[in-house]
Amino acid sequence: MTTTTTTETTTTEATATLDTTTKTLLRFATAGSVDDGKSTLVGRLLHDAKAILADQLAAVTATSRERGFLGGEFDFALLTDGLRAEREQGITIDVAYRYFATDRRSFILADCPGHVQYTRNMVTGASTADAVVVLIDARTGATEQTRRHLTVVSRLGIRHVIIAVNKIDLIDYDQTRIETVENDIKDLADEIGLETPHLIPISALAGDNVATTSDNTPWYSGPALLELLETLPSADEDTADLEAFRLDVQTVLRPQGGLAPGLDPEEFRDYRAVAGQITAGRVSLGDEIEIHPAGLKTTVTGIDTASGPLETASAPLSVALRLADDVDTARGSVIAAAGTLPTPRRELRAEVFPFTAEGLRTGDRVLIKTGTTTVKGIVTIEAKRNLETSKTEPAEVLAGNDIGLARVKLSAELPVPDFRDHGTAGAFVVIDPQTGNTLAAGIHTPEAAHSAESTEDQS
């Protein structure tokens, strides 16, 4: 029996700010090991944002007491370690998603464990994140694991990287020590090629600089962690106006014969629209677009949603587009702002992140899913990234948790853009055609990943 709070009825006197209809959303990931106090930080964030409800807290308090935590202290890890094996072994196995909101914003937190399968978990958690918080212990400073974490976030092009230097209560809030750690991080970031990350000295246990700035660090003039997270621009704010419009077609909506009940068949007799989620940029009525693989240009005559038509729409909205000409489009077609469609290519040049014990090797026959298309592929491993030095070394095999460079020959030409410039549309997953398992993630980075080579392919 772990749930002890049973008699509450809900209260109605408080009228908190409710409005997720106007609040923006920020997705972020946390990385670091248990030793860095990551679970404590996650617990602290949820606690300070009042996202832990009474029955959860009661359950955690009871179990903490059983485990020997004294004086009403919590083992915050109990909040996040959801699987029986995790609680029994005291380790975090898998990425866990947590939800909380402040008056200003909603948050989705991908909590990535640091020890087991760290690359798989980091890449998974970071793939959908607008920001990543990397935790380090103020006493030890940046470690080999910090280097690995920063390498991954650097390769994945995470826009906002925050280093939370934890346990500053244990170094007596020593400004000099924090400056040393900060300089080390700057050197490391330079070496890895990461733009200077935000750095916040915190104590997750004591709460310093987590929800509010602390009196214990008068020398720190920056925001508290939660304040920073509240003000960072999210993906759609960051990029919608900078990037060219792109939509990967999921399906074509033609209701003839299968109209939703209540609609007028006359009105929708000739209705035809291509449906998909906008992966980049913004589209407006009248915009000229081009279509792969039809190779034709036309204009947008309608941007439909079930709630009504729009004049303009931006990533990541799911919409249905009506086009001026009856162009041949189907699932897997790509629609982009005219003149911006990447040259279709038969070969990806990629940074790959193998996930399974078998790893990935030259000659592997795989399936590649990118956008809304799945094609066959043959892998050629070129190099392995040495995570101690961040340099690449020639290799033909990558093990699980390695990061490496590969070419992937494709069975069809696809207009895959450079991930570094266009994000998600340049990402793919590698699938085992026999078992269906996801073997690896990859990002197409022809320039960045292969800058040492001079031959840009023109296949």
Partner 1 sequence: MSIDTQFNHNTHTTAEAAPAHNPGASLSTLDVLESEAIHIIREVAAEFERPVLLFSGGKDSVTVLHLAAKAFWPAKIPFGLLHVDTGHNFDEIIRFRDETAEKYGLDLTVAKVQDYIDDGRLRERPDGTRNTLQTQPLLDAITGGKFDAVFGGARRDEDKARAKERILSLRDEFGGWNPSSQRPELWNLFNGRHLPGEHVRVFPISNFTELDVWSYIAREGIELPELYFAHDREVFQRDGMWWATGEFSTPRNGETVTTKKVRYRTVGDMSCTGAVESSADDLESILAEVAATTVTERGATRADDRISAAAMEDRKKDGYF
Binding residues among 303-362 for partner 1 as defined by CB under 8 A:
304-314, 316-318, 320, 322, 331, 355
Min dist CB 100 to partner 1, Å, is: 9
Give the DSSP H or E segment for 319.
strand 318-323
Min dist CB 134 to partner 1, Å, is: 19
Residue closer to partner 1 (CB basis): 95 or 133: 95
How many residues belong to the site for partner 1 (CB under 8 A)? 112
Min dist CB 199 to partner 1, Å, is: 26
Residue closer to partner 1 (CB basis): 22 or 176: 22
Min dist CB 371 to partner 1, Å, is: 8
C-alpha 439/C-alpha 432 separation (Å) is 6
Instruction: Please list every residue from 103 through 162 that binds partner 1, using CB under 8 A.
Output: 106, 108, 120-121, 123-124, 127-128
Instruction: Please list every residue from 379 through 418 that binds partner 1, using CB under 8 A.
Output: none
Min dist CB 264 to partner 1, Å, is: 8
Residue closer to partner 1 (CB basis): 60 or 194: 60
Residue closer to partner 1 (CB basis): 331 or 345: 331
Residue closer to partner 1 (CB basis): 174 or 236: 236
Residue closer to partner 1 (CB basis): 82 or 218: 82
Residue closer to partner 1 (CB basis): 126 or 136: 126
Residue closer to partner 1 (CB basis): 308 or 394: 308
Min dist CB 13 to partner 1, Å, is: 7
Angle 209-212-213 from CA coordinates, rounded to 5°: 55
C-alpha 100/C-alpha 109 separation (Å) is 8
Residue closer to partner 1 (CB basis): 22 or 454: 22
Build a one-symbol-per-residue string for 45-64: x at contacts with partner 1 by CB under 8 A, - elsewhere: --------xxxx--x---x-
Helices (H), 355-437: 419-422
Instruction: Please list every residue from 1 through 30 that binds partner 1, using CB under 8 A.
Output: 1-3, 5-25
Tokens representing 395?
């290799």
Min dist CB 312 to partner 1, Å, is: 5
Min dist CB 314 to partner 1, Å, is: 6
Min dist CB 209 to partner 1, Å, is: 26
In 3D space, the residue among 87, 89, 126, 91 whose CA is nearest the CA of residue 109 turns out to be 126
How many angstroms separate the Cα of 172 from the Cα of each of 75, 178, 197, 311, 363?
Answer: 23, 11, 24, 57, 55
Using the contact rule CB under 8 A, the part of the chain among 158-166, 219-227, 333-341, 427-435 near partner 1 is: 427-435
Tokens representing 41?
């930080």
Cβ neighbours of residue 366 closer than 8 Å, sequence gap 6 or more: 376, 377, 378, 379, 408, 430, 431, 432, 433, 439
**What one-character-per-residue DSSP string does 108-149 give?**
EEEEE-SSTTHHHHHHHHHHT-SEEEEEEETTT-S-HHHHHH
Instruction: Please list every residue from 244 through 303 that binds partner 1, using CB under 8 A.
Output: 250-251, 253-255, 258-263, 267-268, 271, 275-277, 279, 282, 285, 302
Is there a contact between 393 and 436 (Cβ–Cβ < 8 Å)?
Answer: no
Phi, psi angle pair for 24, to nearest 5°? -85, 165
Build a one-symbol-per-residue string for 65-104: x at contacts with partner 1 by CB under 8 A, - elsewhere: --------------xxxxxxx-x-----xxxxxxx-x---
Using the contact rule CB under 8 A, the part of the chain among 173-181, 222-230, 368-376, 407-415 near partner 1 is: 368-376
What is the spatial order of strands in the sheet that 105-112 belongs to?
96-101, 105-112, 24-31, 131-137, 160-166, 198-201
Angle 125-442-350 from CA coordinates, rounded to 5°: 140
Residue closer to partner 1 (CB basis): 41 or 101: 101
Tokens representing 264?
């007028």
C-alpha 63/C-alpha 86 separation (Å) is 14
Instruction: Please list every residue from 187 through 226 that binds partner 1, using CB under 8 A.
Output: none
Min dist CB 185 to partner 1, Å, is: 27
**What one-character-per-residue DSSP string does 168-197 give?**
GGGGTT-HHHHHHHHHHHHHHHHHHTPPPP
